[in-house]
Amino acid sequence: MAPKRASYTTAFKLTVIRFAEEHGNRRAGRQFLVPESNVRQWRNDKITLLNTPIHKRSLRYRKCFWPQLEKRLRQWYLDERSKGNIWSSTRVRQQAELFAKEMNIEQFMASASWCERFMQREGLRNTFLPVSVELKVQDTDHNCAEIKEDKLTTEYRVQSDDSKEVSGKNRNKESTEMIQKQSEDCESEVFQVLNLSKSAASK
């Protein structure tokens, strides 16, 4: 029986990528106990990974049914972005409909779900940010997710005699209030990073 294939989250892959960029693929493989070939592949997929949810473990996407249309749309998108134009998904869908009409593709429908899959397949996003800012957003999102998970696992049971009994992972009220504050601080940091990214993208 073949051994079960290991899977890794996007957050883990981005951590390995950052280490490999500083110390090399081979050392990163030894450090994180993954094959060097995985490190090379993840570095090649870096742009796509930056647009992928941090807890996702696979980059498999639905098959493209209109490759020529999507190829043309991707080139249009990159050309527009190089000019400093940042378009919403609605604008991308409108352009896709225009190309489909020009190419006589009658069955095509530029739905919101199709547009999302197209952006994921091509490693595109609505804004283009410096890598340092991209990774900062990923780190902050990951930390906030962990804090919120701890918060959700904390339970309280109030007894009828007004005495409070704390249950769940040996947490007390003070620790929960601290987690609540960390979560709020984390969310505030996300907004600050996103504001920074918008400023960087406009320059």
Helix (H) or strand (E) holding 195: helix 173-202
Distance CA 1, CA 41 (A): 26
List pLDDT tens digits, range 121-151: 777 765 444 444 445 544 554 555 554 445 4
List pLDDT tens digits, range 159-184: 444 444 444 444 455 555 665 565 55
CA dihedral 13, 15, 19, 20 (to 10 degrees): 10
How confident is the model at residue 86, as a pLDDT? 72
Helix (H) or strand (E) holding 157: strand 155-158
Band of pLDDT at residue 97, cut at 50, 70 and 90: very high
List pLDDT tens digits, range 46-56: 877 776 677 76
CA torsion through residues 37, 39, 40, 44, sign:
positive
> Do residues 31 and 77 lie in contact, with contact meaning Cβ atoms separated by under 8 Å?
no
Distance CA 203, CA 192 (A): 17
